[in-house]
Amino acid sequence: MFRRVVYQYYTNVNYLTCEQCLALHGLIRRKPEAFPRIDHDCASSILPILRKELRQSREKSRRMRLRAQGELARRSLFERALSILPIEPDESLELLARAASIDLYIPDIERLVQTHDGFLRSHPDLRDRLRRQWLKAYSDKFGWRRYELLPEVMRLQREKAGLARIQELLG
């Protein structure tokens, strides 16, 4: 019989999402069993889609795939920036700006500051540039469409808490 539904893999894309989920995010299959079972902690689900909505879903699927690939690109930019910060600080800040244009997460900031604490303390100008760059980027991201979907109060609280944390770490 002709099935009236298909299935789409959905995961919450963020800095914690496992690579297997990122590889599946947005993919559409005829059967839910077609997706591998993954042992992980991501918030993922397999969502049914009516065939008549398939055209729309394909467009959405394409955006989801790009978002997942973007997250992988972000991680690689960030890790490279993290490793070269004391050697090539200008290039590192450039890479961090590119990473932050995809997304910016406080735990990553904490990790970088922790890793290079001594170096950043002995380079106050650089530390200040980094602080200003991240404050701007963190504030900007809450204007993006995917963060605009959060309830207003939650969005403002998260933005405020994040900015305060960056200030605390690098101020």
Question: Which positions touch Zn ion (CB under 5 A)?
Answer: 18, 21, 40, 42
Provide φ and ψ at 29, rounded to 5°.
-130, 160
**CA–CA distance, 140 with 97 (Å, rounded to integer):** 12
Q: 24 with 62: CB under 8 angstroms?
A: no
Whichever of 10 and 138 has its CB closer to Zn ion, that residue is 10
CB of 99 to Zn ion, least distance (A): 21
CB of 15 to Zn ion, least distance (A): 12
Q: How many DSSP H helices and E strands does the chain contain?
A: 8, 3
**CA–CA distance, 93 with 84 (Å, rounded to integer):** 10
Whichever of 33 and 90 has its CB closer to Zn ion, that residue is 33
Whichever of 18 and 102 has its CB closer to Zn ion, that residue is 18
Burial zone of 55 (CB within 10 Å; 0-12 exposed, 13-18 middle, 19+ buried): exposed
CB of 8 to Zn ion, least distance (A): 15
Whichever of 42 and 135 has its CB closer to Zn ion, that residue is 42
CB of 41 to Zn ion, least distance (A): 7
* Bridge partner residues of 48 (DSSP): 7
